[in-house]
Chains A and B, each alone.
Chain A
Amino acid sequence: MATLAHPDDLRRPNIASADIQLPAVTSYEQVDNEILAVLKPTKAWFASLMLAIACLGLGAFSWIYQIHQGLGVAGYNPPVMWGVYIITFVFWVGIGHAGTLISAILYLFRAGFRTTIYRAAEAMTVFAVMTAGLFPIIHIGRPWKFFWLIPYPNWRLIWPNFKSPLVWDVFAITTYLTISTTFLFVGLIPDIAVLRDRETNPIRRKILGFLSFGWRNTEREWRHFARAYLFLAAFSTPLVLSVHSVVSFDFAMGIVPGWHTTIFPPYFVAGAIFSGFAMVWTIIIPMRRWFGLRHYVTLNHLDASAKMVLFTSLVVGLAYMIEFFIAWYGGVKYEQDYFWNRVFGQWWWAAWIMLTCNMILPLSLFSQKLRRNPTWLWILSIFINIGMWFERFVIVVPSLSHDVEPWQWSSYMPTWVDYGLLIGSFGWFFMWFLLFVKQLPVMALAEIKEIIPPKMKHTHSHGGH
C-alpha cells in the first residue's frame, strides 16, 4: 500500500510493474467526476472539430476531383506508380498499432502504466485503421471496382489472386479493424453503464443501456467481463505482429531494389509501435493538460512509455543500419546503387529527415529529465510522426524512381490533390477522435478504480454512484 505521494515524485517506475499508483486520486467519485467532466463540450472543442471537418472537406473535394478527372491529377511520375496515398496508408496502419499493443500486450504483461492511456490509445487505433483503410481505395484507378479484391461468389466465376500481397492486405486490415473495434467496445461496457446511471435524458439512457448490455455490475458479470477481456487481449495480440507484417509484404514481396528484403516484417512492426506511441503522446499530452488529467496520466506513465519509444526507436535505427549492411553485403548491384542514391542521391533530404527524426532525436530520451518533460515529449512526438511518414516515403518513392531500368529513372512531385487527401486523412481521424472524447470516457473508469486504494473495508466498489 503506497503512501499518498506527490504527483511529481521521482520514483523510477518499472515498465512492467503493475502497481503504478495514482497518488492524487483518492475516491471513486473523484474518478467519475473528473473523467466524465471531460464529456462536457467546450468552445475550443467545437472549434477544433470544425477545423477537422474543414480538413476532411478539402480531402473529400480532392478525392471527388481525382475520381472525376483520373489519377493523373496526382503527382505520379512513372515509374513512380505509388506515392502519397500508399505512404499515408502505411503511416496510418502503423499508428493503429500502439492501441492494441498497449491494451492487449501490455495488459497481458501487467504493465500498469497502460491503465490510464489505453482507452484513448484503443480509440486512436480504431480511427487510425478506419483512416488507413480508405487509402487503398483512394489509390486505385477504378475505386468503384474495389470489391473485386474481395473473395465472394460472383457471376464471372472468378476469384481474386490469393498470391497477391494486396489481397492479404484486405484480410489483414479488415480483421484488424473488426478485432480492435470489438476490443474497444467490450472494454467500454462497464463505463457505458456508469454513463447510463448518470444519464438523465431517457432516450440517451435507453441507448446507453442497450450499449452496456444492461450491465448490472454484479460479481458474475465482472467475472465474465474479465474473462472475455483477457480472451480478446490474447486473441488480438498476434494481430499486432501480423497486420504490419502483412503490410510490409506489399513491399518485401516485390523485386524492386530497396523493397526486396526479409527484414521488413519485424522492422515494420517496430516502426509501427514506435509511431503509434508517438501518436498516443500527440493526443494524450494535450488531453491531460486541457482536461486537467495530469494526476491520472502522471509523469511516471509518460516516463515509462518514453522508454518504450526509446526502445522501438533503437530497433528501427538498427533496422536502417542493417538495410545498408545487407545492400553492401548482398553484392547486388541494383541494391547498392539504390541505397547509395537513397542517402546521397536525388532523395538525400527525405532520407535524412527520416534518420534525424526516428534515430537521432529519440536518443534524447536517454535523459530522464527529458523523459519526464511533457512538452519535449510532445514536440518529439510530432517529429517522430513526420519522421515515420518520411520513412515510408523513403521506402516507396526512391525505390521506384531508381529501379533496375536506368532509362526509366524519374522523379516525383506530389500535387495539391495528394496534399489535400493527406490533410483530409488527418481531418477524418481527428473528427472521429474529437467526437469520441465527448461521447465516451477517454479513460477506463473501472480499471482506474481498481488501482486506487479502497476507502473503507465495508464498502466495496459500485460502478459509480
Chain B
Amino acid sequence: MTVDTSVSETGSSAGVKRRDFLKVLGVSGAATAAVGCSSGDVEKLIPYLVSPDQTVPGVSNYYATTCRECAAGCGLIVEVRDGRAIKAEGNPEHPVNRGALCARGQSSLQGLYNPDRYRQPMKREGDALVATTWDDALQILSAKLGEVKSRGQGSRVAFVNQHEQGSFPAFLDGVLAGFGIAPHLSYDAEAPVAVLQANQAAYGAAWPAIDFSAASLIVSFGADFLDGWGLPVPQQLAFAEARGKVEGAPRFIYVGARRSLTGLNADQWIPAKPGSELAIVNAIAGKGSAAAAAEAAGVGVALIDGLVAEVRKARASALLAGGFGQDAGELATAVAELNKARGNVGKTIKPADGYLAFEGVAGHVEMRALAERMNAGEVPMLLVRHANPAYTTAPGVGFAAAMAKVPFKVSFSSVPDETTSLCDLILPDHHGLESWGDAEPVKGRLSLQQPTMDPVFDSRQTADVLLAVAKADPSLASKYGFADYRGYIASRIGGNQNLKNALPTALVSGAAASRTAPARTASRATAKEQSGEYTLLTYLSPTLGDGRGANKPWLQELPDPVTKILWQTVVEMHPETAKRIGVADGELVTVTTAAGSLTAPALVYIGLRPDTLAVALGRGHTAAGRYAEAGENAWQLLDAAEDRAGGAALGATKATLVKADGKKQRIVTTEGSGRQHGRGIAQAIALPALLAGEEGHGHHVFEGQASTEFLPGLRSPTANDAQGEFGVPNSKDKGQYDPEHWSGAAKRRWAMTIDLAKCTGCSACVTACYAENNIPTVGASWQGPVLLPDRTGFGANVTRGREMAWIRLERYWEIDREPKDVVFDPEHPDFDTNFIPMMCQHCGNAPCEPVCPVYATYHAPNGLNVQVYNRCVGTRYCSNNCPYKVRYYNWFGYGDPTRSQYAFPEPLHWQLNPDVTVRQKGIMEKCTFCVQRIKEAEHRVSLEGREMQPDEFTTACAQACPSRAIVFGDAADENWSVAKWAKDRRAYHVFEELNTYTAVVYLKKVNHPAPTASATA
C-alpha cells in the first residue's frame, strides 16, 4: 500500500548509478520503519562498502553551499541523510538571505532529482538524440572545437550561459579564448536590465541595497520587489522587517496597472496606465502637472496630488522603478534622479552595500542579435548552458528557427528544454547541488558552492568538461595547473586548506574572478505599429520565473500568490472587461497580439485596469519535461520591442481580446470564496486605531462565553482537551495529561504565532512544507482516476480542490461584493487585501478529536493535535468537523510507485524525508507542527543530556519564511519568543467564538492610511 522511501533493490532504474548509490545508502532501517511497505518481499539491509567519515547512518549531515536557482546567489544549508540531499534551507550567516529561502530555492531539490534530467551524454543521430558515453561525447566536442580553431572561425562561435555570478564566467571565457572564441553571453530573461543600467549610471551601483526600515514612505512604480524583481529574498527580509515595526513602519504606495504581490502588499494602489509612470514621476519632480499625469495615467487627479504631496512631505522615501516597460530605462533614470533630489540615496537607497547579482548580464537584445547572426549563417557553432533562449525570447526573434541554420549545436543543460532539444550534442552538467563553484553576491564576500551528494546521474560539471577539452589541446594544457574545477576554486582562495576551513559556512572574504561582458553589438528594437484596445502585461511568474521552474511539480502546484492559479495559464482581466466581452471565470478567450495569439480561460482579477490584460509567463513548454507542459506559453504573445538597455518590454504589447466560441475550462485555483464575509479570519487594523487602543474589526466577544484569551501552557485550555479534564471530569488518574506526571509531557505547549503585518503572502512556507513533510503533488493530468477521468485534463484532482498543501496562503479581498461585480472607479480604485497562512491550529479543544471513531487523531499532552496515520481508517469525519478545513485526504495512492497517481517518480523519491511517513491511500493527513523536528530536538537534548534551549529549533515553514513572520515554540515557557509574541496587543485567534482554543496565534495586519484622508479606508 505504501512506498518505502529507502530505495529497495527494485526501487531504482538503470538510469541511477546503482553502485554509487548503494555506497551512500547505508542502513536505512529507520526510514523503512517509518514508512513501511507491506509488500511480502524479503527486505535487504545494505551496509556501506566503506563507511564515509563523520557520517552516522540515520543522522543527517548539513552542507553549506550556494543557491543557483536565480542570479541572487543566496546561501544554502542542505540537509543530507545517508548520502541523499533531502532538504534545502537558508544559511543563517549568509549576507544575502540570512537564513530565509524562497519557494524556488526550496525546490532546487526537484531540479536535482528531476525525473526528466539527462541521465548521460546524448548525441544527435538523424532526428533522434541517443545516449552515448562521455569519452565519445568529449571526443566529438574536442574535434569540433579544434575544427573551429583551425579554421579560425572562433570569433563567430557563440556560447550562451544562464547568467550566474562568481568565477565561472571568467573561467569559461578563459577556456573559450583558448579556442579563439569570443566571451560568452550571460543571459537572464528575468534581469531588469534597464533598471540595472540606469542605477549603474545614477548610483554607481547596478543594484543598491534598499533599506526599507529607514524609509517613511515607499513608492513603487511597477517595481515588484516581492515577486521576482531583482533579489526577492533580501528585499522581502528588509521590507517585512520595516513593516514589522508597526509604529514608524513605512507607508507603501504602489503605482502600476496591475497589482502584483508587491502591489497587494501596498497600503494604496494607483492604477496608472502602463507607460504613464514616467509622467507621474515627472509630476512629483515638478517637471509636469499633476493634471496631465492623471490624464495620462487615467486615474483621478486627487490620487496624483496626494502622491505628490506625500512624496514631498516624506522624511525619507524609497522610490523604486519597475523594469519591464519600453521606457523602463527612462523611468528608472527619472526615479533615480528623484531619489537623489529627495536625498534618499545613502539613506534608503544604499549603493555602498549593493548586490553584484547582475554583473555583466546580457539581455533580450543580445539574443536577437545572435539570432540574426545565426540566420545569416555566420555562426558555425552554438553552445548553450542552462539558458533557454528558444523559449524565453519573443517569437519575432525566431531563435529556434535560426538555430536550424547552425551546423553544430552543443548544450550543457542538465534538464531538457526547448533550446537543448534542438542541439546535436548534450553534455549534461551537474546540478548546482552537485557542483563546485563560488559567487560574490556582495562586494568582498565569496559564497562557495560545494557538492552536497554524489551525482545522481552520469553527468559532469561543465567546468570540468571544458577543462578536459582544454587539456586535450596541447597548446592550452599548460595554462591549467589544477586538476579540476575544485582545484581552481581552491587556488582562488589560497589553497585547499583555506577551502576546507571555509566550507562549514561556505563563506569567505575574497572576490570572484572578474570578467568583461562582450560589448553590445545590436541596437534596441522599438515596437512595431501596434493595434489593440488592451495593453497586455506578460509578467514573470512569481513561482516559475521566466519558465525555468516549470518542470518542478512543487512550483507548478504552488498557487500564484496573487491569482491563486496553479497548473494553468489564465487571461486576467478586470470584471468590467469580462462583462464587456461577456465572459465569466473559466470561459475561454483568445488574446491576439502582433506576435501571436493565445487561447486560455478568463479569470476576473480586481487588481487590474479595465484597459489592461495580464498573462503569466513560464508555462506551456513543449520540450521541458512531463510537468512543464501544463498551461500556455505567454512568450508567444510578446512583441520583440525592447527598452533602452535592450531588455524585453514585457509590459508594452497591444492586444485584442475575443471570446472563444463559448468553450469553458474549470479554473484551477485553491480559492473558494475570496472574501471573508465578515468572519474575521485575516484581521487588519489601521495604525491610528491600534495606537488609540481600539480593537480591530472582526473581534468576536460573546456574552457568557468562556474567555478565549490565549493562556499558554498548563494554564491553557489544553487541560480541557478531549482526553483531559473535559473528557473524564472526575477521573482520578489523568495519566500523562497530569501536570505532575513524571514525564513532564504536559509541561509544554507547542504553539505558533504568525505576524500578518510581516507576512507578504509569498508562499515560501508552502513549498518548505512540501519539502519537509513528503507532501505529494496531485495536479498532473495523469494523477486522476484511470477510467473516465475528468474532461478538464487536470486529472480531476486540482480541479476538485484536492491539493494537499498542509499550509495554505489565503488571500482575502476586503470588498463589499463578489469580485465579478466590482466596478473600476478611477477616483477610488483602491481595495485592501489580507493574506493569512492557514494550517492546523492544534486546538486545545479540537473538534476533530472526539469524532474520530478510532483515536487516529487525538491530543498529545504537549498540546499537539496528533494524526496517527496508521490508525486512520478514513471516515473523514474529522475534516468535516474542522472549522479551519486544514485536513487533507489521500484520495489516491500518491505514495505508491505502482500507481499512475504516484507523486514521486524516480528519482524524485530520493528527496523524501526519512523522518516523515509517506501516507498511504485512504487516510487523512495534516500539519503536524513538524513533530519530527520536535522529536529530533528531544532526541538531541537527551543524547547530550541537557535541557532544551529556548528557540532551539523551529518548523520548516518558520525556517523558510523570508518575512520572518512565523514563530514557533513552547508557549508554556516564557523564555521562548513565541510566548512573548502570543501576548502581543495585536494577537487574536481565528474563530475564537467556536472555543477551539487554538495553539496558533495571529497578529493583526497593520494598515497605514494616508496621513491626510482615509484614502485606503
> Footprint of B on A, CB under 8 Å?
65, 69-73, 75-79, 81-82, 136, 139-142, 145-146, 148-149, 158, 160-161, 163-167, 170, 250, 253-256, 333-334, 337, 400, 403-410, 415-416
A165 to B679, CA, bound (A): 29
In whole Å, how far is B355's beta carbon from the nearest beta carbon of chain A? 36
Asked whether, in the complex, the Cβ of A400 is within 8 Å of the Cβ of B891, the reply is no
B664 within 8 A of A: no
Contacts of A255 in B (CB 8 A): 847, 881, 883, 994
Residue of B nearest to A66 (CB): B785
A404 to B881, CA, bound (A): 10
Closest 5 CB pairs of A and B: A141-B874, A141-B922, A72-B891, A409-B672, A81-B876
The 8 Å CB contact of A404, one of B671, B802, B883, is B883
Residue of B nearest to A403 (CB): B885
A415 to B673, CA, bound (A): 24
In whole Å, how far is B584's beta carbon from the nearest beta carbon of chain A? 15
Asked whether, in the complex, the Cβ of A333 is within 8 Å of the Cβ of B679, the reply is yes
Return 7 A-B CB contacts under 8 Å, by A number: A65-B787, A79-B885, A141-B923, A164-B853, A255-B994, A256-B881, A333-B679
Contacts of A408 in B (CB 8 A): 672, 801, 885
Q: Which of A75, A140, A337 has the most CB of B within 10 A?
A: A140
Asked whether, in the complex, the Cβ of B880 is within 8 Å of the Cβ of A256, the reply is yes
B171 within 8 A of A: no
Asked whether, in the complex, the Cβ of A406 is within 8 Å of the Cβ of B677, the reply is yes
Chain B 719-742 interface 0/1 with A at a Cβ cutoff of 8 Å (1 = within): 000100001000000000000000
Chain B 839-874 interface 0/1 with A at a Cβ cutoff of 8 Å (1 = within): 000000001001111110000000000000001111
Contacts of A161 in B (CB 8 A): 850, 852-855
The 8 Å CB contact of A77, one of B800, B879, B923, is B800
A141 to B871, CA, bound (A): 12
A278 to B25, CA, bound (A): 66
A408 to B876, CA, bound (A): 16
Asked whether, in the complex, the Cβ of B891 is within 8 Å of the Cβ of A70, the reply is yes
Chain B 866-898 interface 0/1 with A at a Cβ cutoff of 8 Å (1 = within): 000001111111011101110011111100000
B838 within 8 A of A: yes
The 8 Å CB contact of B880, one of A82, A409, A415, is A82
Asked whether, in the complex, the Cβ of A82 is within 8 Å of the Cβ of B851, the reply is no
Asked whether, in the complex, the Cβ of B852 is within 8 Å of the Cβ of A81, the reply is no
Contacts of B873 in A (CB 8 A): 140-142, 145-146, 148-149
Asked whether, in the complex, the Cβ of B921 is within 8 Å of the Cβ of A70, the reply is yes
B953 within 8 A of A: no
A255 to B883, CA, bound (A): 8
Contacts of A77 in B (CB 8 A): 800-802
Q: Which of A78, A139, A165 has the most CB of B within 10 A?
A: A78
Contacts of B810 in A (CB 8 A): 407
Residue of B nearest to A141 (CB): B874
B954 within 8 A of A: no
Asked whether, in the complex, the Cβ of A253 is within 8 Å of the Cβ of B872, the reply is no
> Footprint of A on B, CB under 8 Å?
670-679, 681, 722, 727, 784-788, 796-797, 800-802, 808, 810, 812, 838, 847, 850-855, 871-877, 879-881, 883-885, 888-893, 901, 921-924, 991, 994
Whether A72 touches B923, Cβ cut-off 8 Å, given contacts A78-B885, A255-B847, A403-B883, is: no
A400 to B851, CA, bound (A): 16
- 8 additional A-B residue pairs with CB within 8 Å, beyond A72-B892, A166-B853, A404-B679: A76-B802, A141-B874, A141-B889, A141-B923, A142-B873, A160-B853, A405-B885, A415-B788
The 8 Å CB contact of B874, one of A78, A140, A333, is A140
Residue of B nearest to A401 (CB): B672
In whole Å, how far is B34's beta carbon from the nearest beta carbon of chain A? 18
Asked whether, in the complex, the Cβ of B883 is within 8 Å of the Cβ of A166, the reply is no
Asked whether, in the complex, the Cβ of A407 is within 8 Å of the Cβ of B673, the reply is yes
The 8 Å CB contact of B922, one of A70, A75, A256, is A70
Contacts of A148 in B (CB 8 A): 853-854, 871, 873
Contacts of B677 in A (CB 8 A): 333, 337, 406
Residue of B nearest to A334 (CB): B679
Asked whether, in the complex, the Cβ of A164 is within 8 Å of the Cβ of B877, the reply is yes
Asked whether, in the complex, the Cβ of A406 is within 8 Å of the Cβ of B874, the reply is no
Contacts of A405 in B (CB 8 A): 672, 681, 838, 883-885
The 8 Å CB contact of B786, one of A69, A136, A149, A165, is A69
Asked whether, in the complex, the Cβ of B874 is within 8 Å of the Cβ of A254, the reply is no
Contacts of B797 in A (CB 8 A): 72
The 8 Å CB contact of B852, one of A70, A76, A164, A415, is A164
Residue of B nearest to A167 (CB): B853
A400 to B889, CA, bound (A): 15
The 8 Å CB contact of B851, one of A158, A253, A404, is A253
A190 to B670, CA, bound (A): 64
Asked whether, in the complex, the Cβ of A254 is within 8 Å of the Cβ of B881, the reply is yes
A28 to B873, CA, bound (A): 55
Contacts of A145 in B (CB 8 A): 873
Contacts of B881 in A (CB 8 A): 254-256
A334 to B678, CA, bound (A): 10
Asked whether, in the complex, the Cβ of B853 is within 8 Å of the Cβ of A72, the reply is no
A82 to B853, CA, bound (A): 15
Contacts of B676 in A (CB 8 A): 406
A142 to B1, CA, bound (A): 11
Asked whether, in the complex, the Cβ of A79 is within 8 Å of the Cβ of B875, the reply is no
Residue of A nearest to B993 (CB): A332
A111 to B847, CA, bound (A): 45
Contacts of A136 in B (CB 8 A): 875
A79 to B893, CA, bound (A): 19
In whole Å, how far is A64's beta carbon from the nearest beta carbon of chain B? 12
In whole Å, how far is B502's beta carbon from the nearest beta carbon of chain A? 46
Asked whether, in the complex, the Cβ of A72 is within 8 Å of the Cβ of B991, the reply is no
Asked whether, in the complex, the Cβ of B671 is within 8 Å of the Cβ of A407, the reply is yes
Asked whether, in the complex, the Cβ of A71 is within 8 Å of the Cβ of B891, the reply is yes
A416 to B788, CA, bound (A): 9
Contacts of A337 in B (CB 8 A): 677
Contacts of B674 in A (CB 8 A): 407
Contacts of B852 in A (CB 8 A): 161, 164
Contacts of B847 in A (CB 8 A): 254-255
Contacts of A141 in B (CB 8 A): 872-876, 889-890, 921-924
A149 to B856, CA, bound (A): 11
Q: Which of A73, A136, A160 has the most CB of B within 10 A?
A: A73
Asked whether, in the complex, the Cβ of A165 is within 8 Å of the Cβ of B851, the reply is yes
Whether A166 touches B875, Cβ cut-off 8 Å, given contacts A255-B847, A407-B810, A416-B788, is: yes
A209 to B240, CA, bound (A): 86
A142 to B890, CA, bound (A): 11
Asked whether, in the complex, the Cβ of A333 is within 8 Å of the Cβ of B876, the reply is no
Contacts of B678 in A (CB 8 A): 333
Q: Which of B672, B787, B991 has the most CB of A within 10 A?
A: B672
The 8 Å CB contact of B785, one of A69, A142, A406, is A69
A405 to B901, CA, bound (A): 29
Asked whether, in the complex, the Cβ of A166 is within 8 Å of the Cβ of B785, the reply is no
Residue of B nearest to A409 (CB): B672
Asked whether, in the complex, the Cβ of A71 is within 8 Å of the Cβ of B885, the reply is no
Asked whether, in the complex, the Cβ of A79 is within 8 Å of the Cβ of B787, the reply is no
Asked whether, in the complex, the Cβ of A407 is within 8 Å of the Cβ of B672, the reply is yes
Contacts of B877 in A (CB 8 A): 81, 164, 166, 250, 254
Contacts of B885 in A (CB 8 A): 78-79, 403, 405, 407-408
Asked whether, in the complex, the Cβ of A149 is within 8 Å of the Cβ of B994, the reply is no
In whole Å, how far is B397's beta carbon from the nearest beta carbon of chain A? 42
Contacts of B891 in A (CB 8 A): 70-72, 76
Contacts of B850 in A (CB 8 A): 161, 163-164, 253
A170 to B810, CA, bound (A): 38
In whole Å, how far is A319's beta carbon from the nearest beta carbon of chain B? 22
A408 to B885, CA, bound (A): 7
A406 to B815, CA, bound (A): 14
A71 to B854, CA, bound (A): 20
A49 to B727, CA, bound (A): 51
Contacts of A400 in B (CB 8 A): 880
Asked whether, in the complex, the Cβ of A407 is within 8 Å of the Cβ of B875, the reply is no
Contacts of B872 in A (CB 8 A): 141-142
Residue of A nearest to B893 (CB): A70
